[in-house]
A = this chain, B = another copy of it.
Amino acid sequence: MFLRINPAADIPIYEQIVRQVKFAIASKTLMKGELIPSVRELAKQLAVNPNTVVRAYRQLQDEEILASRRGMGMIVTERALDHCHTQRVDMIRLRLRQVLEEAEQSGLDQATVRELVESEIAQLKHDIHL
């Protein structure tokens, strides 16, 4: 499992780990039943404080995405894929909603907003094909 941590980002490191594990599951890089790296190992890999990894794993456990298996480590649960998918779409919907609200409050009309969306989609498409 390869994660990339940015210690300068405004998102807490433990949250970055959580998100990337979820993403790895959603994109089927991590499959259900699979063992994930131990706390110590991942901490060393990411050059991060072990406590930070513990916190991330604990949150993933609370969300029933990971489960501990005595003596073995932690595995991806059966339900993980579904959870990650729905969470992800819900999050995107929520953030999209917030942006649109802010645009509306700023006095941008619907046409302008749609233009913005289209130009950003086009830009994104272009960047990807580089």
Residues of chain A touching chain B, judged by Cβ–Cβ distance below 8 Å, are 7-8, 12-13, 23, 26-27, 49, 62, 67, 69-72, 88-89, 91-93, 95-108, 110, 113-114, 116-117, 120-121, 123-125, 128
Give A119 to B78 CA distance when docked, in angstroms.
Answer: 31
Q: Given A92-B106, A99-B96, A103-B92, are A67 and B8 also a contact pair (CB < 8 Å)?
A: yes
Q: Which of A62, A92, A95, A107 has the most CB of B within 10 A?
A: A92
Query: Which residues from chain B contact A27 at a C-beta distance below 8 Å?
Result: 107
In chain B, what residue has the closest Cβ to A97?
B120
Give A70 to B12 CA distance when docked, in angstroms.
Answer: 8
A99–B95 touching, CB < 8 Å:
yes
Give chain A's interface secondary structure class. helix
Give A100 to B92 CA distance when docked, in angstroms.
Answer: 8
Query: Which residues from chain B contact A110 at a C-beta distance below 8 Å?
Result: 121, 125
Query: Which residues from chain B contact A101 at a C-beta distance below 8 Å?
Result: 124
Give A71 to B124 CA distance when docked, in angstroms.
Answer: 34
